[in-house]
Amino acid sequence: MGVTVVFQWELVDGQTHQQAIQELHGRINNTGAVQEGKFYYESKFYQASDSATTRDFYTLKTSEYPVTVFARVDDSTKDKNSCIQCDSPMESLLVKLREFFTPKRTFEIRGTRFKLADFWIRPGIVTSSGSNKCVTIEIEYTPSYFADDCWPLFSELGSYILNRQIDDKPPTLMENNKQFNPGMMVQQYVEIFSRKATTQANFQQPMKQEQIQAYNTQM
């Protein structure tokens, strides 16, 4: 376990998700990384029946932490890291509570993981109800717990793989010598999922270009 950062791949015009993954694999192979097994992430969005008193949340199961179920409240304050780490009976508990929390959406990421010395690189496609949403690249640097210390390494590797400039500061979540914990990784994924959910909502109601622009500026 070490500092883990999740990046999102920006699709070039006319590029499908599969093509993007192909390109990513090529780039990662060029760095000298080797394939080592598969990985998956599985996330569910639970909506509370009474939104006034209870809040919506995401659960995340992953092959990297096989015995843990993460639960992350869909909070408006993104810097607050309120992640719960639960044992596997959590899911059966949620089945019993389906009156209060209804599972709305499922997100899934599957892919191949690569190992490059101390780095783990996990590129994958985010799918929700059978359709591809976006491409994410997770980079983990196992020896360090502090993103500030190893950010130059991240920016170097990340900018090569993503083929774009990366901020010279780590995400605000991990800044200021905060020790890394798996909750931070969950937080980053949930941010991506919630962003997708909102854009998906937008797609469902086709809007005019101005409306979208207006919406984006509001954001």
Partner 1 sequence: MQNDVQLAIEGQKECFIQEIALNGQETWIQPMSMSEQFGRATQRIDFGKELQDNNEVEVKKEVEASPTKAEPKENPWDEVRKSIFEALTEVRVLHDVLAVLNHNTNPAPPANPQQQPGQPPQKILQLASISGPASSSTEQLRASSVAAKKKSFLLASKVIKEGAERLERNEKQPDFHQELQYLRQHYRLRRKGEKILGDLSFRTAGSSYPALGEFEVIRDADCSRENCPLKIRLPHELQNMAWLSIKLVRCDINDSLKVDLSKVTKEETVSTYHHVISTKYKQKGYLEELRQAQHSLFTRELFSQLCREVSCYRPIVPIYMIGDHISTQIFPDTKLIIELCRKPFKAGDEMPFDRSSERRWFCLEQHLTKLLREHHAASKSCPAPHPTIATMGMTKKQRIAATKPYNLPRIERMRKTVPMIHKIIEAAKHAELLRRVEEELDSIAKEIAEPNIHIHWPIIQNPVHTSIKVHFSVAGYEMCTKQFGMHSMLLNVGINGCTAIQRDGNIVELGTDTAEMRRVIEGELLSLQVACLAGLVRIIDWTVLSSSKGCLLLAPPSSSQSITGRVSVRTENRKIRVYIEEKTTNSTPSSDLLLDPKWKVLTDNEWREVDWEKLAGANFVGKMDLMLSCLCKAVTDKVHNNP
CA proximity to 64, closest of 81, 85, 41: 41
Choose, by CB under 8 A, the member of 8, 85, 127, 144 that binds partner 1: 85
Rounded to whole angstroms, the Cα distance separating 131 from 105 reads 12
CB of 147 to partner 1, least distance (A): 17
Which residues, in sequence order, are CB contacts of 182 under 8 Å at separation 6+?
Answer: 1, 4, 65, 68, 70, 83, 85
- Closer to partner 1 by Cβ: residue 87 or 175: 87
Please give the DSSP secondary-structure letter assigned to residue 10: P
| Under rule CB under 8 A, residue 63 binds partner 1 | yes
Smaller CB distance to partner 1: residue 85 or 200? 85
* One-letter-per-residue 3-state SS of 68-136: CEEEEECCCCCCCCCEEEECCCHHHHHHHCCCCEEEEEEEEEEEEEEEECCEEEEEEEEEECCEEEEEE
Which position among 8, 15, 54, 68 is part of the footprint of partner 1 (CB under 8 A)? 68
Dump the DSSP string for 129-161.
TTEEEEEEEEEEETT-SBHHHHHHHHHHHHHHH
d(CA 79, CA 82): 9
Contact call for residue 67 and partner 1 (CB under 8 A): yes
Residues 141, 118: Cα–Cα separation, whole Å: 6
Q: Of 93 and 212, which CB lies nearer to partner 1 in the complex structure?
A: 93
Nearer Cβ to partner 1 (181/199): 181
Of 62-70, 102-110, 130-138, 197-205, the segment contacting partner 1 by CB under 8 A is 62-70
| Interface with partner 1 (CB under 8 A), residue from 66, 79, 176, 209 | 66
Count of residues near partner 1 by CB under 8 A: 14
Task: Please give the residues from 114 up to 173 whose contact with partner 1 meets the rule CB under 8 A.
Answer: none
The stretch near partner 1 (CB under 8 A) out of 14-22, 57-65, 154-162, 169-177 is: 57-65
Q: Minimum CB separation from partner 1 for residue 182, in Å? A: 6
Closest CA to 139 of 35, 28, 5, 31: 5
Q: Least separation, in Å, of the C-beta of 39 and partner 1?
A: 9
Nearer to partner 1 by Cβ, of 37 and 130: the residue is: 37
Binding residues (CB under 8 A) for partner 1: these are: 1, 63-70, 85-88, 182
